[in-house]
């Protein structure tokens, strides 16, 4: 086999490999790269409205941040025995936890001076109003802040920053949550994101982030302790094959260059 035939066959092989790689990458529909694409076939979408955020009711085992504020700092400390301003070296999250109260098995929280207050079955706003009413029996100018601390979202899979995130916004939607985790990676499948809802006995839901109708669905808003899993696109599962093909292609290109140089020097 002469030099000319070797070069021709090598170049043909490189072309075939390049075409194969293009086919592998082109197998991903373009819509999988975008968020909330409009379904033009759905003429009713313009008349739809987003669902109201779900109202979470407090359960046993929940952790509540409760802070009483008054004009007199000494009086405030009677209701808030932990003074976070004096907790040097303590992180912000740890400081919040120091002022937290566990909802016991009977559904009560136990607050200094106020005693036991039943909060199970109440929304966070209702619990705040109830505790505030109890505080005002002692200090009419007091204000109370109540937040749910046990609202956490777990991100697994193809997220830029997977992990467990504390949420203090009780009206968190799935798009805001994805933003918290730094968006999906380039290999994340936006059309099939899994949500495991622990407070619904680990029921599994799937949402399509590429479909605009998501914002009208019941799964648009998240609930405490949801687990969100972003599955990889098929192209990532072929990543090893692509890497191998790329290596072979680079090797053959180098081989052609060496053959050309050898042929030139031989002359």
* pLDDT per residue as tens digits for the range 73-89: 888 888 887 654 544 44
Structure confidence at residue 8 (pLDDT):
62
CA 30 from chain centre, in angstroms, equals: 23
* pLDDT per residue as tens digits for the range 19-64: 665 555 555 555 566 788 877 666 555 667 878 888 999 999 999 9
State which fold the 31-52+152-232 domain adopts. Answer: Outer membrane lipoprotein wza fold like (3.10.560)
Structure confidence at residue 76 (pLDDT):
84
Domain 63-148 belongs to what architecture?
2-Layer Sandwich (3.30)
Q: Within the chain, which residues score under 70 in pLDDT?
A: 1-33, 40-47, 82-98, 235-253, 255-267
Of 200, 172, 225, 196, the closest CA to residue 54 belongs to: 172
| Residue 127: both structure tokens together | 């619990």
Of 49, 37, 46, the closest CA to residue 209 belongs to: 37
Q: What is the pTM of this model?
A: 0.71
Structure confidence at residue 88 (pLDDT):
44
Structure confidence at residue 97 (pLDDT):
66
Name the pairing type of β-strands 115-118 and 188-197: unpaired
DSSP code for 249: H
DSSP 154-205: EEEESBSS-EEEE---TT-BHHHHHHHTT-B-TTEEEEEEEEEEGGGTTEEE
Q: How many other CB atoms are there within 10 angstroms of residue 146's CB atom?
A: 23
Distance between CA atoms of 35 and 240, rounded to whole angstroms?
A: 28
Domain locations in the chain? Answer: 3-28+239-266, 31-52+152-232, 63-148
């Amino acid at each position: 086999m002469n030099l000319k035939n070797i070069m021709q066959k090598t170049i043909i092989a490189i072309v075939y490999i390049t075409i194969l790689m293009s086919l592998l990458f082109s197998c991903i529909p373009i819509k999988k790269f975008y968020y909330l694409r409009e379904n033009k076939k759905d003429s009713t979408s313009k008349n739809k409205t987003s669902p109201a955020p779900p109202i979470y009711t407090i359960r046993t085992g929940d952790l509540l941040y409760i802070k009483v504020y008054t004009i007199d700092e000494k009086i405030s400390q009677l209701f808030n025995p932990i003074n976070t301003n004096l907790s040097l070296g303590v992180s912000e999250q740890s400081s919040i936890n120091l002022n937290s109260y566990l909802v016991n098995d009977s559904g009560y929280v136990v607050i200094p001076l106020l005693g036991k207050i039943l909060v199970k079955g109440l929304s966070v706003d209702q619990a705040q109003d109830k505790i505030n009413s109890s505080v005002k029996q002692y200090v009419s100018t007091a204000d109370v802040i109540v937040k749910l601390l046990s609202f956490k979202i777990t991100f697994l899979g193809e997220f830029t920053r997977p992990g467990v995130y504390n949420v203090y916004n009780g009206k968190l939607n799935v798009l805001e949550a994805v933003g918290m985790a730094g968006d999906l990676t380039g290999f994340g499948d936006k059309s099939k994101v899994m949500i495991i809802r622990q407070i619904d006995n680990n029921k599994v839901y799937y949402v399509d982030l590429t479909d605009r109708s998501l914002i009208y669905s019941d799964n648009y808003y998240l609930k405490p302790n949801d687990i969100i899993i972003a599955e990889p696109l098929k192209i990532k599962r072929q990543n090893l094959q692509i890497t191998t093909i790329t290596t072979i292609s680079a090797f053959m290109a180098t081989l052609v260059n060496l053959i050309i140089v050898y042929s030139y020097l031989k002359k």
